Amino acid sequence: MPTIGWFEILIVVAIAIVVLGPKDFPVMLKKAGSWIGTAKRYVSNIQNEVSNLEIDDEKINDEVKKETKKNE
């Protein structure tokens, strides 16, 4: 997987400033930051839900094991 270095980022920023203009560039950066923050929150929520499911599954498995030992 190719990596993106500082030089490539600098080129993209320079092109964005030329295309968008210096006035609209900060507005676009703010929007992009907002989108990235929203995406990170969604991913974090999904990770938390999966983690909670795993914990619940472990609790259920422990309870089932205890019940089977009692019945034996």
Write down the domain spans for the chain: 23-71
Report the C-alpha gap between 70 and 46 in whole angstroms. 36
pTM above 0.75, yes or no: no
- The CA distance from 13 to 34, in Å, is 18
Residue type, 66: K
DSSP letter, residue 24: T
Please list, in sequence order, all residues whose beta carbon lies within 8 angstroms of the beta carbon of residue 17, skipping any fewer than 6 positions away. 25
pLDDT tens string, the chain, 72 residues long: the values are 678 899 998 999 899 999 988 899 899 999 999 999 999 999 999 998 888 887 777 777 777 777 777 766
Look at residue 44 in the predicted model and tell me its pLDDT.
93
What integer pLDDT is reported at residue 51 of this predicted model?
84
